[in-house]
Amino acid sequence: MERRERTTDPARRATALVVAGAALLAAGVFVVVKDSLIDDAYITLSYAKNLAVHGEWGLVPGMRANSATSPLNVLLLGALTLMTRVSGSAHPVVALGVLTVVATAVLAWGWTRLTRAYRLPWPVAVLGVLVVLSNPFVLSAIGLEVLLIPAVLVLLTVFAVEGRPVAFGVAAALAVLTRLDLVVFVLVMALCAGPIRRRIGRAVLAGVVVAAPWYVFSWVVLGSAVPDTLVIKQDQDGLFGRWTYATGPVMYYLGQKFAVVMAFAPALVGLVAWFGLVGLRLARRWTRFPDLSALVGLGGGAIAYYLVYTALGVGPYHWYYVAPATALGTFAVAALGVWLVKAGQDARLVERTPLAALGAVAVFVAGAVAVAVTRDMPWRSPVIFGNWASASDYAHVGRELGERVGEDTVLSPGEIGTLAYYCECRIIDVFSDRGRVAELVEDRLAEAGPVSSALLRLNYLFFDEDIERAPIDHRLRYERGPGSGENTWQVFSDALGVGHFTLLPEEEREPVTTAQR
């Protein structure tokens, strides 16, 4: 017993240090980025605030909606907002800070389990956490589920490696509650990991018990099991011009070369390592390594995810690349760590190659850190950014908008999250108004093939098709360039420069041009 304590105490201390260090680093990161949250992050925060304050599932008070892509993110933020209320005031941004720290700590804890399972050096776990926490695409989308994604994927990997089907099923449920599309990772990993595949019934039962209550509630009560964001985003496929999800990384590279290279480079290392590992398996040289089927599933899930998103035809929103990029980066660090350890034990294997590759990943992480720390502190806007106004300018417009319109409705200019959060008024677009969703679903049904049409009708089986658009009293218009005058607010964006918003009565409505959108 004494010998066991001597051998486990160092591991426990190392685990505590890695988890605590990751949590402290996440807290520091949040302090840097909290004033630069993107508009879609505020959609999530608005949902969380309405859930905590009004007990409603919607973007704006009094209007039920189902446009939150990540139910788990909203539920956690809503619960934390309720817990962190002070003097009756809700503070979702504080709740986001807490969740950022907790999600990073879970990510770090998962990595410590991987290091014990594969007997990796502890610095490998540190590098695995940094690959995620330094990624410019992750930092540019804090507030969305970008830290929950790598956390649940690492948990999936850990429980697959440890051969725990019930725990894997619970982690799978958390994954699909984080984003339903993460089911791609769940399926690929379950098929690849032998211990899970052989006892798949237990994993499925555990996953259904945890995830089904929410999806049944969403399907019956909210009107769709899959959130409305799927049809909304598919309808925005022309927003990026000729750029698609498949070519999106090139689009971002043309705007932010160094930052984008640092964001995707660890994933590219992981892609090369994945094909190399699969090649070893096909060449029947796998026996030199421990069972890496779970890791192969993680990397394969990332590749499959990228292909699925390409096929879905959604736009190249930068947070959509977080899942495949962080998963391949995680795979790279773990697989190369296993190779390094095995090379030290087997003279037939080359030790310098995995060490050099891990060193390259560390250099890319250092480059990503340089991208973050060479900006003005705290950040005014994220590295990857495309909104019409900074978060602070949007907050100013939102507060004054709420004072001017009162109980009236306002047609959104096209970006709604930050305005809705600070306005606390009935600001209307497809993200908040189910009447507009009904029209969008009808349009999609008219375009869809037989299979897609059947699935779409099933998803919206309990949707109230008779719901009408909310009436509009005012509209908020955005235009590039300076602006002044009554009910006009000038704003600035690092992406678009100077612009302005103008509040107009609905009867003065003018056509919105492509340039204005």
Q: How confident is the model at residue 514 (pLDDT cuts 50, 70, 90)?
A: very low
What's residue 513's pLDDT? 36
What's residue 408's pLDDT? 93
Question: pLDDT digits over 107-124, tens only?
Answer: 999 999 999 999 999 999
DSSP 84-100: T-BTTB--HHHHHHHHH
Mean pLDDT over residues 438-465, rounded?
Answer: 86
Nearest-10 Cα torsion for 160, 162, 168, 174: -90
Question: How do strand 488-493 and strand 409-411 relate by DSSP bridges?
Answer: unpaired
Which residues sit opposite 498 in a β-bridge? 492
Per DSSP, the three-state class of 60 is: strand
Higher local confidence (pLDDT), 15 or 177: 177
Question: How far apart are alpha carbons 163 and 294 in whole angstroms?
Answer: 9
Q: How many secondary structure helices (H) and strands (E) does the chain include?
A: 21, 5
Q: Identify the burial level of 481 via C-beta atoms within 10 angstroms of its C-beta, where 0-12 means exposed, 13-18 middle and 19 or more buried.
A: exposed
CB 439 within 8 A of CB 228: no
Amino acid code (one letter) for 196: I
Tell me which H or E stretch contains 339: helix 322-345
Question: How do strand 497-505 and strand 488-493 relate by DSSP bridges?
Answer: antiparallel
What's residue 87's pLDDT? 61
Strand order in the sheet with 426-428: 426-428, 409-411, 474-480, 497-505, 488-493
Question: How far apart are alpha carbons 135 and 383 in whole angstroms?
Answer: 10
Mean pLDDT over residues 457-467, rounded?
Answer: 88
CB 184 within 8 A of CB 305: yes
The lowest-confidence range among 89-98, 229-238, 493-502 is 229-238
Question: pLDDT digits over 43-61, tens only?
Answer: 999 999 999 999 999 999 9
Kindly report the CA angle at 396 between 402 and 47, in degrees rounded to 5?
60
Q: How confident is the model at residue 353 (pLDDT cuts 50, 70, 90)?
A: confident
Q: Say if residue 500's pLDDT is above 90.
A: yes
Question: pLDDT digits over 179-220, tens only?
Answer: 999 999 999 999 999 999 999 999 999 999 999 999 999 999
Question: pLDDT digits over 249-283, tens only?
Answer: 999 999 999 999 999 999 999 999 999 888 877 66
Q: How confident is the model at residue 450 (pLDDT cuts 50, 70, 90)?
A: confident
Strands annotated E in 252-339: none
Q: How confident is the model at residue 359 (pLDDT cuts 50, 70, 90)?
A: very high
Q: How confident is the model at residue 347 (pLDDT cuts 50, 70, 90)?
A: low
What's residue 516's pLDDT? 34
Q: Which residue has the tokens 């709420």?
A: 402
> Would you mind telling me the total number of residues written for the chain in this entry?
517
Say whether the peptide bond before residue 511 is cis (omega within 30 degrees of 0): no
Mean pLDDT over residues 318-341, rounded?
Answer: 95
Q: Say if residue 369's pLDDT is above 60.
A: yes
Average pLDDT in the chain? 90
Question: How far apart are alpha carbons 129 and 119 in whole angstroms?
Answer: 17
CB 405 within 8 A of CB 474: yes
Q: Say if residue 2's pLDDT is above 70.
A: no
Q: Say if residue 510's pLDDT is above 70.
A: no
What's residue 445's pLDDT? 83
What's residue 6's pLDDT? 44
What's residue 88's pLDDT? 66
What's residue 364's pLDDT? 97
Alpha helices in 34-121 (DSSP H): 39-54, 71-83, 92-118
Question: How do strand 474-480 and strand 409-411 relate by DSSP bridges?
Answer: parallel
Question: How far apart are alpha carbons 288 and 245 in whole angstroms?
Answer: 38
Question: How far apart are alpha carbons 84 and 72 in whole angstroms?
Answer: 18
Helix axes 183-192, 200-220, angle to 10 degrees: 170
Mean pLDDT over residues 346-355, rounded?
Answer: 70
Tell me which H or E stretch contains 235: none
What's residue 288's pLDDT? 59
Q: Say if residue 34's pLDDT is above 60.
A: yes
Q: Give the other-Cβ count within 10 Å of 447's Cβ.
A: 10
Question: How far apart are alpha carbons 357 and 340 in whole angstroms?
Answer: 10
Q: Identify the burial level of 71 via C-beta atoms within 10 angstroms of its C-beta, where 0-12 means exposed, 13-18 middle and 19 or more buried.
A: buried
What's residue 515's pLDDT? 33
Q: Say if residue 153's pLDDT is above 60.
A: yes
What's residue 371's pLDDT? 96
Q: How confident is the model at residue 232 (pLDDT cuts 50, 70, 90)?
A: confident
Q: Say if residue 86's pLDDT is above 80.
A: no
Lookup: tokens for 204: 């499925």
Question: How far apart are alpha carbons 316 and 91 in whole angstroms?
Answer: 31
| Radius of gyration for the chain, computed over Cα atoms and rounded to the nearest angstrom | 24
Question: How far apart are alpha carbons 417 and 427 in whole angstroms?
Answer: 10
Q: How confident is the model at residue 330 (pLDDT cuts 50, 70, 90)?
A: very high
Q: Say if residue 238's pLDDT is above 80.
A: no
Question: pLDDT digits over 280-301, tens only?
Answer: 776 666 565 667 889 999 999 9
Who's near 68: CB < 8 A, 6+ residues apart?
Answer: 43, 44, 47, 57, 59, 74, 227, 229
Nearest-10 Cα torsion for 68, 69, 74, 76: 170
What's residue 3's pLDDT? 36
